[in-house]
C-alpha cells in the first residue's frame, strides 16, 4: 500500500509477538497448544507490587507524570543500580519508559542519522535489527556461534567497527541463548572499545535476576567502567518482577542522552503509566524475595526442560546460564521426513511441524539470526514443560 512509509515497509512484525498471536488464534480455533514462544513470566506479579498499584489508583496517582518518569521512581532506580549493580547514577541519569523496548527504540531514534551503523551480535533478540532499520540505521550483524558460547569476541567486535559505528548492543543474560558474559569477557570487549571512543554501548540487562549454576550477572558498566560516559543501561520491571503488562523500563546513562530520550517521549507517549510507575517503585525498592524466588523456580524449570528435550532425537541442547530460554540446535532434524511426507528443510519447517503435528509452539532460530536452532521459553509451568517436551520427543521419534 503506497500510503505506508518505506520505513515501515522495511520491517516485519515482532516474531515473538506474532508467535504469541498465532498461539492465541490456534487456541481460539479449539487447538490444544503448548506454548513455549513468548518470553513472559507465568508467575504472579508480587502482592506488594499489586498493592502499590491499587494504592496509587486510590490516591489519585492517575495523572500525567514528567516525561522522564516520577522523581520517586528515578530515585528508586538510582538506588537499585547502586544496590544490585554497584553503580553510581543520579536520578538525573535515569529515564523511565513504557518497557525496556520503548527505551531502546527511543534511544536509537534520538541518536541515529541515516546510514549510522549499530553492531548487533547474533543470535540477537528479534527486535534489535528492525528497531535500527526503522530508525534509518544499518544493523551490522556479527554472526556468533555455539562454539564461542554464543558470545561476541573481541576480534569479531574489532572487525565490525567502522567510522560509522554508533552503537554496540550487548545483552547479558542473553535472549535467546542464555549466555552470560563474565567480567573478563566484558573487559576483553572493553579493550577494543577503548580504541574506538566514538562507539557507544547499549547494555540490555533485562534478565539480570535470572542466572544459574553459579553464573553471575555483571553489568557492562561494572565490568568496563571506562564506558560509563558512553553507555546506556537498559533494564526494567517486566521480567524480574513478572510485570510485563505494566510496561515499565528504564535507561540509565549520560544526562544528555537520557534527556534526549525524555524529549522524544514527551512527543510520543508523554510519560509511562503513572500507576505502573508507582508499582515499579515498590518492585525496585521493596522486598526482593520475588525475583529471588523466581530465579530459583526458573533454574529448576530450565534444567527440567534441558533434560527432557535432550531426549529428543535430533535436538542438541546446552544448559542455559541465564535468562529463561533454551536455544537448542535442530541440525539433526534437518533433511528428515515427517509422517505426512514433508521434508524439514529449515528450523522454520521444524517450528511448523511441531506446531501443526504436536501442538507445541516454539520460535525458529532464523528469527534470531542463527539457524538451525529453536528458541523455547521455560518461563512456564513444570506441567507445561513436561507435556510440551513429551510431545516434541514423540514428534522427533516418528521422523525418518
- Give contact residues for ligand GLU (rule: CB under 6 A): 14, 16-17, 38-39, 101, 125-127, 175
Min separation Cβ 131 and ligand GLU, Å: 11
Cell of 82: 547502586
- Cβ proximity to ligand GLU, 17 vs 155, nearer residue: 17
Min separation Cβ 208 and ligand GLU, Å: 14
Strand residues in 144-190 grouped as ranges (E):
165-171
Contact between 304 and 388 (Cβ < 8 Å) = no
Contact between 232 and 203 (Cβ < 8 Å) = yes
Min separation Cβ 252 and ligand GLU, Å: 19
Cell of 190: 572493553
Which residue in the shown chain puts its C-beta closest to ligand GLU? 39
Min separation Cβ 33 and ligand GLU, Å: 16
- C-alpha 116/C-alpha 338 separation (Å) is 45
**Shortest CA distance to 365 belongs to which of 143, 32, 117, 104?**
143
C-alpha angle 99-85-117 in degrees, rounded to nearest 5: 55
- Cβ proximity to ligand GLU, 153 vs 355, nearer residue: 355
Min separation Cβ 46 and ligand GLU, Å: 19
- Cβ proximity to ligand GLU, 80 vs 102, nearer residue: 102
Min separation Cβ 27 and ligand GLU, Å: 18
Contact between 384 and 35 (Cβ < 8 Å) = yes
Sign, CA dihedral 142-226-196-203, equals positive
Min separation Cβ 282 and ligand GLU, Å: 23
- Cβ proximity to ligand GLU, 89 vs 241, nearer residue: 241
- Cβ proximity to ligand GLU, 175 vs 235, nearer residue: 175
Min separation Cβ 264 and ligand GLU, Å: 20
The full length of the chain comes to 400
- Cβ proximity to ligand GLU, 38 vs 262, nearer residue: 38
Provide the 10 A C-beta neighbour count for residue 169.
26
- Cβ proximity to ligand GLU, 78 vs 126, nearer residue: 126
- Cβ proximity to ligand GLU, 207 vs 284, nearer residue: 207
Burial of 154 (0-12, 13-18, 19+ CB in 10 A): middle
- C-alpha 218/C-alpha 322 separation (Å) is 12
Sign, CA dihedral 304-179-360-372, equals negative
Min separation Cβ 11 and ligand GLU, Å: 14
- Cβ proximity to ligand GLU, 98 vs 165, nearer residue: 98
**Shortest CA distance to 176 belongs to which of 320, 349, 7, 44?**
320
The DSSP result for 217-285, as a single string, is ---HHHH-GGGGGGEEEEEESTTTTT-GGG--EEEES-HHHHHHHHHHHHHTTSSS-HHHHHHHHHHHH
Amino acid at each position: 500500500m503506497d500510503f505506508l512509509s518505506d520505513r515501515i515497509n522495511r520491517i516485519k512484525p515482532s516474531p515473538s509477538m506474532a508467535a504469541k498471536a498465532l498461539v492465541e488464534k490456534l487456541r481460539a480455533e479449539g487447538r490444544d497448544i503448548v506454548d513455549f514462544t513468548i518470553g513472559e513470566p507465568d508467575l504472579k506479579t508480587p502482592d506488594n507490587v499489586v498493592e502499590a498499584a491499587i494504592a496509587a489508583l486510590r490516591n489519585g496517582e492517575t495523572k500525567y507524570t514528567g516525561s522522564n518518569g516520577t522523581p520517586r521512581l528515578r530515585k528508586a532506580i538510582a538506588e537499585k543500580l547502586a544496590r544490585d549493580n554497584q553503580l553510581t547514577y543520579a536520578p538525573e541519569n535515569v529515564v523511565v519508559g513504557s518497557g525496556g523496548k520503548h527505551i531502546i527504540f527511543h534511544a536509537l531514534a534520538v541518536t541515529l542519522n541515516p546510514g549510522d551503523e549499530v553492531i548487533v551480535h547474533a543470535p540477537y533478540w528479534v527486535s534489535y535489527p528492525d528497531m535500527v532499520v526503522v530508525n534509518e540505521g544499518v544493523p551490522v550483524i556479527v554472526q556468533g556461534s555455539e562454539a564461542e558460547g554464543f558470545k561476541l569476541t573481541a576480534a569479531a567486535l574489532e572487525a565490525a567497527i567502522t567510522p560509522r559505528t554508533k552503537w554496540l548492543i550487548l545483552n547479558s543474560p542473553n535472549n535467546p541463548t542464555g549466555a552470560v558474559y563474565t567480567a573478563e569477557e566484558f573487559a576483553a570487549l572493553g579493550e577494543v572499545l577503548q580504541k574506538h571512543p566514538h562507539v557507544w554501548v547499549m547494555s540490555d540487562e533485562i534478565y539480570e535476576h535470572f542466572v544459574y549454576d553459579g553464573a553471575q550477572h555483571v553489568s557492562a558498566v561494572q565490568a568496563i567502567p571506562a564506558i560509563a560516559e558512553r553507555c546506556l543501561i537498559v533494564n526494567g520491571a517486566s521480567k524480574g518482577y513478572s510485570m510485563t503488562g505494566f510496561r515499565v523500563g528504564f535507561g540509565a546513562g549520560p544526562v544528555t542522552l537520557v534527556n534526549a530520550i525524555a524529549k522524544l517521549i514527551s512527543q510520543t507517549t508523554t510519560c509511562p503509566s503513572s500507576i505502573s510507575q508507582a508499582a515499579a517503585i515498590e518492585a525496585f525498592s521493596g522486598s526482593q524475595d520475588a525475583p529471588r524466588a523466581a530465579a530459583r523456580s526458573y533454574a529448576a524449570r530450565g534444567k527440567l526442560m534441558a533434560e527432557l528435550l535432550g531426549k529428543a532425537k535430533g535436538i542438541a541442547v546446552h544448559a542455559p546460564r541465564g535468562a529463561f530460554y533454551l536455544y537448542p540446535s535442530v541440525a539433526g532434524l534437518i533433511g528428515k521426513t515427517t509422517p505426512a511426507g514433508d521434508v524439514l528443510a529449515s528450523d522454520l519447517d521444524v517450528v511448523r511441524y511441531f506446531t501443526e503435528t504436536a501442538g507445541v509452539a516454539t520460535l525458529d532460530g532464523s528469527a534470531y539470526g542463527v539457524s538451525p536452532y529453536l528458541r523455547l521459553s521455560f518461563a512456564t509451568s513444570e506441567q507445561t514443560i513436561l507435556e510440551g517436551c513429551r510431545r516434541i520427543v514423540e514428534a522427533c521419534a516418528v521422523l525418518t
